[in-house]
Amino acid sequence: MTSTAADARTGSPVRPGRRVKTLAILAVLVLSGLTFLAWSQSWGSLTIVGGSTSAATLDVPGSVAAPALSALALAGIALAGALAIAGPIIRIVLGALEVLLGASVLASAIGALTDPVAAGAAVVTTSTGVAGTQSVRDLVTESTTTPWAAVTVGLGALMIVAGLFVIVTVRRWPAAGRKYQAVAFEAEDGRRSADPADFFEDETAQEERSGGSPTATAARDAAVDDWDSLTHGTDPTR
């Protein structure tokens, strides 16, 4: 019988802890996936002039404008998996880490949004061989940005909110499932323990209380019978 069915039979309300946990993990996972998607998109373009008549427009992908986003997004995906099996204390640590990841995503996106020329300088250098921030600025005549930079700013802010949500609601989450706990051994009589030596200790103590193992008891009885047959039930020492 599930806990929901049991609650319905007893008339007690359904605990929302599992729903809160699922919502928090999905939020972290979805936001990290969208951040990775934003990293793979075009964030704008730069128009450069190489002479009096020639001009070229260069595309600036997110992987150039904010290269750290891929690592941050992958870290967020791994963090979502860790949240599913972590204990209460580790969940708080992971929530704080999600806040830091969101702040890093936010900073990367704001930097590319406020200074698109600097964010796309690597593209200009690859195309023209001109290096140096000021030299690149002298070549760029026009810069445009796509909505992906602004979207990533919003994703970073939402990641911060998701991390805070994890920290605030962590005590409402249900405990991790038994399959994530330490391995437990079970004896034939139903006893369970994480240390198999406990079963041998119990058997040894039981034998001591009963006067020895069955094999030792049988050997002792046989020796007594042999002695009685040889002495005809009398004590030869008297």
Output 235 or 100, whichever has higher pLDDT.
Answer: 100
Distance CA 222, CA 220 (A): 5
| Chain mean position to CA 32 | 13
Distance CA 107, CA 100 (A): 11
For residues 85 and 176, is the Cβ–Cβ distance under 8 A? Answer: yes
pLDDT band per the 50, 70, 90 thresholds, residue 6: very low
Domain boundaries, the chain: 13-180, 185-231
pLDDT at 219: 60
pLDDT band per the 50, 70, 90 thresholds, residue 8: very low
For residues 225 and 233, is the Cβ–Cβ distance under 8 A? Answer: no
Q: Which two tokens stand for residue 116?
A: 């698109």
CA nearest to 166, candidates 177, 158, 154, 155:
158
Whether the per-residue pLDDT at 132 is higher than 60: the answer is yes
Q: Which two tokens stand for residue 40?
A: 């793979």
pLDDT at 43: 94
pLDDT at 17: 77
For residues 167 and 68, is the Cβ–Cβ distance under 8 A? Answer: no
CATH of domain 13-180: 1.20.140
Tokens 């700013």 label which residue?
153
Q: Which two tokens stand for residue 87?
A: 């204990």
